[in-house]
Amino acid sequence: MAAITSPTAGHELNHQRTAFIVMAALFALAPLIAYPVFVMKVMCFALFACAFNLLIGYVGLLSFGHAMFFGMASYASAHSAKVWGLTPELAILFGTACATALGFVVGSLAIRRQGIYFAMITLALAQMVYFYCLQAPFTGGEDGIQAVPRGRLFGVIDLSNAWSMYLLVYAVFLGGFLLIYRVVNSPFGQVLKAIRENESRAISLGYDVDKYKLLAFVLSAGLAGLAGATKALVFQLASLTDVHWSMSGEVVLMTLLGGLGTIFGPVAGAAIIITMENYLAQLGAWVTVVQGVIFVICVLAFRRGVIGEIANWLKKPL
Amino acid sequence: MDIFGIPSQALFGQLLIGLINGSFYALLSLGLAVIFGLLNIINFTHGAQYMMGAFVAYLLLNKLGIGYWPALLIAPLAVGATGVLIERFMLRKLYKLDHLYGLLLTFGLALIIQGLFRNEYGSSGQPYAMPEQLRGGQNLGFMFLPNYRAWVIVASLVICLTTWYVIERTKLGAYLRAATENPALVQAFGINVPRMIMITYGFGVALAALAGVMAAPIYQVSPQMGADLIIVVFAVVVIGGMGSIMGSIVTGFGLGLIEGLTKVFYPEASNTVIFIIMAVVLLIRPAGLFGTQK
Amino acid sequence: MKRKLLSTLVAAAFALGAGSAGAQISDGLIKIGVLNDQSSLYSDITGSGSTVAARMAVEDFGAAAKGMKVEVVAADHQNKPDVGSNIARQWYDTDKVDVILDVPTSSVALAVSQVTREKGKAFLVSGAASSDLTGKACSPNTIHWTYDTWMLANGTGSAIVKTGGDSWFFVTADYAFGHALERDTEAVVLKNGGKVLGKVRHPLNTQDFSSFLLQAQSSKAKIIGLANAGGDTTNAIKQAAEFGIVKGGQNLAGLLVFLSDIHGLGLQTAQGLIFTESFYWDLNDQTRAWTKRFAAANGGKHPTMAQAGVYSAVLHYLKAVEAAKTDDGTKVIAKMKDMPTDDPLFGKGTIRADGRKIHPAYLVEVKKPSESKGPYDYYKIRATIPAEQAFRPIDQGDCPLVKK
């Protein structure tokens, strides 16, 4: 679904390195001008979108149920921090682990089909997770898990201090981002792209395509979980919104707007969408309308997305 | 008399309610099946078009004094016309691309339509008066069946079977099916394929709107009414077989019944049972129970 | 390193600024935030009407004449705890809001109460119902105005059981409020010698109640208690009429019903419903006069008790700020508890240590269409429950603020 990007040569990597430094600097300075909780939200969702993009942009699989990983990890992290008293880094790891496990189960079921059927399976399974979360006592149903303590990182650093929390989220985001970057630019990533372009040829070359797809799926799910687990600590709340299918739709929107198959696209998309939601919040339902309009415009006329268009103009992959 | 520990009265009552719900599922999935089966378009806007049908009926009644029975005809035509416009000016551009872009477009359209209606009407829902002729109900012994709900079952069956007949057994239907299987060849025979496709999409949308009009008197006419229903309907279509009209009809009614049964024996699972069945079917027989692999 | 220095400087600046304003109004401005549902289930019960009520209170208090700058802002929490707590946090952190009002939907109210406590601000709940807000979730920064589930359960529940409705079946909304209402009503029913024959939970914002109503019918309970609110209640009542529930000999008990719900249902469907409220616009000359002004500013719609509660709360809050000479949340709440309340809508009342505001409650019955003289003339007052009996005794709530 995305444009074919040529193998990155040394000087093209510089471009991406510059972009990365710009992005890291922007996020480092942002809390000085903008509301820190807002920027933390952007980073969590940016990571979520990057994880989603790994699947759609580089493997070509549209998952319409990614909220289940994001939300499930959010609940797991919130529960472990609040009820079991785990320190934040353990809570986040636990949440991520849950999402990874769920990703393995869902992936094993969904990978067997492609295209539309794959999307429909992920949607159906996500709905099951949603209804499970609606009923299960530990999630608190409509109330969600509230008053989640931020705790002390490693038992030492007090995270109720806004700056410490920000640094944690910043580190998680950059870490996750770099991991995705490494995966995409590795031999593994090349095989994934090959599968996206022409699966039968990849099979004929001897690659166990299903294993690669499953691994990519699990990776994507785990990183989405990382985003969700962190988000639960930022907002100290885990709720049904995180597992609802509209959340899955939102991450698709962010990635589409930013640019499918680009590295920085999802980050830009997440930043734009969340900012827009924030400023248009007073306008209530107009947010939904604007989101819909962006979807339509992107699909009809702007398929490369923001970063994709910039990359196309620069003739360099981003 | 108790069946599996549940009084038979309660059981039959819930089954009947399940059948009523199933009629809506069947009617809605019919439109979706027509659109996907014939056009290979995943119409995520279906839920919003269902909602528009209900709103058109509401507006007809409250602004123009036009009642339920004319609305059954006018609303589908009006909403179907918007469907025709959508196909002509937006969907047509996407046929050369991956099918998933069609899904994303219709998803975006659904958001726009729902958002606009929510802005105008809020989320609370408008009341729509039940038509005079269908008020009241029959005491069936094991439950009190409102007349209107009985009408829903009957009407839904009639519409579904008629549509199936037209598409599968008439010449028009044959042209339609041929046109989508091999548009170039059929066009070479002189048939205006783009127009057929346009009208087919409009027809599927009109079916959704019709379901909306029928839902108006019993459910609140609210902008959200289609949003959660659409996913269940997708499940129905996938289970039935995405190309099969009869499959969607049978599955729609069947799933309504299964959901009703689940509500009796294991209510907590009543929301998820449809998706469990869908996941199982997709794994064993991805073409669906009645479908044929394309 | 540079970043650390900069942030330290910024923090120091804030600290200095905050310190000097300790005994004064922060930023020279009292900012009131009305947070409720403006587009969904409870938008008619609270919504923009609550903002109108808040502004009327600011006017009537005469803030301008006293040289106090007061501003009212509003936002929509969409009945979601994450949206509500985010707005609350942002309002407190960046928008300098001092007090939040209204907040229907108990799950959101609990979340906002938590955030308010963390930030040391003030929270005056008018829209939400869960009695946990003055029970195990009580807070020195929260006052629960207007009503709660215990008041509703006690008023409606005992009245109905005493008149013969002694077997109940609950249809409950599956969230904090629904559970609290069901729990409190069940306790009252059992205490008065009644039985609970069954319960069923439904998701918030349910469209189709046919399956739940059928279960209620087959339980053969004399009373079907609707432990839900807003659109859920009206839907259930309408569909109950469709399924001939009342004709079949069972009665519906709306446990939380507002004036706007009756307006939406119409007297034909709603006549005979009995429930409890703590405010009705037609009680006396003062409430009538106020309602006239309110309706003029609110598009002709008469006030619900939640909106009246917002007026009363803002008025008392401003009086307390004036008396305490500060808008520090914890201090003002303490002051509000010290001062007795008095306003044209709820009359004279007090606020207890657990944050519960005390005033009389009214058992009302919906008039028949023939008995009503015009729109909004919907209630007959069946009984007045005196303030001391209307709310849960302070020692029964498990509130940690109450010394045993």
Residue B56, C-beta contacts closer than 8 angstroms, at least 6 positions apart: B71, B74, B75, B78, B79, B209, B212, B213
CB B68 within 8 A of CB B57: yes
C65 contacts C105 by C-beta, under 8 angstroms: no
∠ CA C295-C299-C300, rounded to 5°: 45
**What angle in degrees, to the nearest 10, is found between the helix axes of A88-110 and A115-135?**
130
Does the distance separating the beta carbons of A294 and B119 come in below 8 Å?
no
- How many Cα atoms within 13 Å fall on the side-chain side of residue B267? 12
Residue C26 CA to residue C16 CA, distance in Å, equals 13
Q: Which residues of C277-293 are buried (b: 16+ CB within 10 A; e: fewer)?
A: bbbbbebeeebeebbee
CA distance A295 to B104: 7
Local structure of residue A151 (DSSP, 8 states): -
Q: What span, in angstroms and rounded, lies between the C-alpha atoms of C377 and C367?
A: 8
Given a cut of 60, whether residue C40 has pLDDT beyond it is yes
C-alpha C307/C-alpha C304 separation (Å) is 5
Contacts of B110 (CB under 8 A, 6+ apart): A292, B44, B45, B47, B48, B226, B227, B230
SS3 (DSSP) at B58:
helix
Nearest CA to CA, how far is C202 from chain B (Å)?
A: 10
- Per-residue pLDDT reduced to its tens digit, C281-303: 999 999 999 999 999 999 889 99
d(CA A204, CA A186) in angstroms, rounded, equals: 21
Summarised one tens digit per residue, pLDDT across range C183-229 is 999 999 999 999 999 998 887 777 788 888 988 988 889 999 999 98
pLDDT, tens digit, 9 for 90 and up, residues C340-384: 999 999 988 999 999 999 999 999 989 988 999 988 999 999 889
Check C207 against B225: CB less than 8 A apart.
yes
Euclidean distance between CA atoms B108 and A296, whole angstroms:
5
Mean pLDDT estimate for chain B: 86
| pLDDT at residue number B293 | 57
Instruction: Say whether A241 and C203 touch across the interface (CB within 8 A).
Output: no
- Residue C20 is predicted with a pLDDT of 39
At A7 the pLDDT is 53
Amino acid occupying residue B206: A
pLDDT, tens digit (0-9, with 9 covering 90-100), for A137-171: 889 888 889 989 988 888 888 888 888 999 999 99
User: What Å distances lie between residue C1 and C4, C5, C6, CA to CA?
Assistant: 5, 6, 9
Q: At B206, list the tokens.
A: 């009109």
B-chain residue closest to C231, CA distance: B124
Does residue C235 or residue A247 have the better pLDDT? A247
Q: Cβ(C345)–Cβ(C53) under 8 Å?
A: no
Give Cα separations from C148 to A169, C116, C262 (angstroms). 39, 20, 20
Alpha carbon of A299 to those of A79, B82, B97, B234: distances in Å?
A: 39, 19, 10, 22
Pairs of residues, one from chain A and one from chain C, whose beta carbons lie less than 8 Å apart: 65
**pLDDT digits 0-9 by tens, B172-214:** 888 888 877 787 888 888 888 888 888 889 999 999 999 999 9
On chain A, the residues whose CB falls within 8 A of the CB of C176 are 142-143
- 8 A C-beta contact, residue B125 and residue B63: no
Q: What's the mean pLDDT in B267-277?
A: 81
Q: Which chains touch A (3+ CB pairs under 8 A)?
A: B, C
Q: What is the DSSP letter of B213?
A: H
Angle subtended by helix axes B99-121 and A115-135, to nearest 10: 40
Is residue C15 pLDDT above 60, yes or no? no
* Largest interatomic CA distance in chain A: 55
CA distance, residue A54 to nearest chain B CA (Å): 17
pLDDT at A11: 56
Q: Give the total residue count for chain B.
A: 294
Task: Return the residue of A nearest to B91 by Cα.
Answer: A300
Distance CA C60, CA C58 (A): 6
Structure confidence at residue C17 as a pLDDT band (50, 70, 90): very low
Distance CA(A260)–CA(B98), nearest Å, equals 14
ipTM exceeds 0.90? no
- How far is Cα C51 from Cα C307, in angstroms, rounded to an integer? 8
Instruction: Find chain C residues with C-beta within 8 A of B222's C-beta.
Output: 207
pLDDT attached to residue B261? 85
Helix axes B8-39, B46-64, angle to 10 degrees: 110
Chains touching chain C, criterion 3+ CB pairs below 8 Å: A, B
Task: Return residues 192-251 of B near A (CB < 8 Å).
Answer: 231, 234-235, 238, 242
What local confidence, expressed as pLDDT, does residue B6 receive? 64
pLDDT score, position B195: 87
* pLDDT tens-digit series, residues B16-53: 888 988 999 999 999 998 888 777 788 999 999 999 99
Token pair of B38, please? Answer: 């014939």
Contact between C255 and C181 under an 8 Å Cβ cutoff? The reply is yes
What is each CA distance from B108 to A276, A289, B197, in whole angstroms?
Answer: 16, 9, 21
What's the mean pLDDT when you consider all of chain C?
Answer: 87
Task: Characterize A154-171 residue by residue with b for buried, 16 or more Cβ atoms within 10 angstroms of its Cβ, and e for exposed.
Answer: eeebebeebbbbbbbbbe
Q: Which residues does chain B have within 8 Å of residue C200's beta carbon, measured at their own beta carbons?
A: 267
Question: What whole-number distance in Å separates Cα of residue B151 and Cα of residue A62?
Answer: 40
Q: Nearest residue on chain A to B36, judged by CA atoms?
A: A116
Strand residues in B90-180 grouped as ranges (E): 137-139, 144-146
Count of other CB atoms within 10 angstroms of residue C369: 11
Overall average pLDDT of the B263-270 stretch:
75
Q: Taking a C-beta distance cutoff of 8 angstroms, is the pair C77, C135 a contact? A: no
Torsion of CA A220, A221, A227, A232, to 10 degrees: 180
pLDDT in tens, C111-129: 999 999 999 999 999 999 8
Contact A101, A107 (CB under 8 A): no
Quote the tokens at residue A49.
């979108």
Whether the per-residue pLDDT at A93 is higher than 70: the answer is: yes
Choosing among B49, B100, B228, which should be mutated to test the A contact, i.e. which has the most A CBs within 10 A? B100
Q: Using the 8-state DSSP alphabet, how is residue A205 labeled?
A: T
Residue B292: pLDDT band (50, 70, 90) is: low
**Distance in Å, alpha carbon of C287 to nearest chain B alpha carbon:** 28
Six-digit token string for C343: 């306003």
| CA–CA gap between residue C250 and residue C63 (Å, rounded) | 52
Cα angle value B227/B233/B236 (rounded, 5°)? 160
Dist CA A293 CA A299 (whole Å): 10
C152 and C255 in contact (C-beta within 8 Å)?
Answer: yes
Tell me whether strands C122-125 and C99-102 are parallel, antiparallel or unpaired.
parallel
Residue B263, both tokens: 């509500």
Question: Is the overall model pTM greater than 0.90, yes or no?
Answer: no
Supply C67's token pair. Answer: 């040289």
- Which secondary-structure segment (H or E) carries A276? helix A265-280
What span, in angstroms and rounded, lies between the C-alpha atoms of B46 and B212? Answer: 10
d(CA B134, CA B149): 9
CB C365 within 8 A of CB C254: no
Question: Token digits for A36?
Answer: 């820190």
**Strands of C361-366's sheet, edge to edge?**
C274-277, C361-366, C379-385
The pLDDT value recorded for residue A12 is 58
Do A119 and B103 count as a contact with CB atoms less than 8 A apart? yes
Strand partners, C102: C35, C125
Task: Write a three-state SS string for chain C.
Answer: CHHHHHHHHHHHHHHHHHHHCCCCCHHHCEEEEEEECCCCCCCCCCHHHHHHHHHHHHHHHCCCCCCCCEEEEEEECCCCHHHHHHHHHHHHHCCCCCEEEECCCHHHHHHHHHHHHHHCCEEEECCCCCHHHHCCCCCCCEEECCCCHHHHHHHHHHHHHHCCCCEEEEEEECCHHHHHHHHHHHHHHHHCCCEEEEEEEECCCCCCCHHHHHHHHHHCCCEEEEECCHHHHHHHHHHHHHCCCCCCCCEEEECCCCHHHHHHHCHHHHCCCEEEECCCCCCCHHHHHHHHHHHHHCCCCCCCHHHHHHHHHHHHHHHHHHHHCCCCHHHHHHHHHHCCEEECCCEEEEECCCCEEECCEEEEEECCHHHCCCCCCCEEEEEEECHHHHCCCHHHCCCCCCCC
Instruction: Identify the closest residue of chain A to C117 by CA–CA distance.
Output: A147
Average pLDDT score, chain A = 90
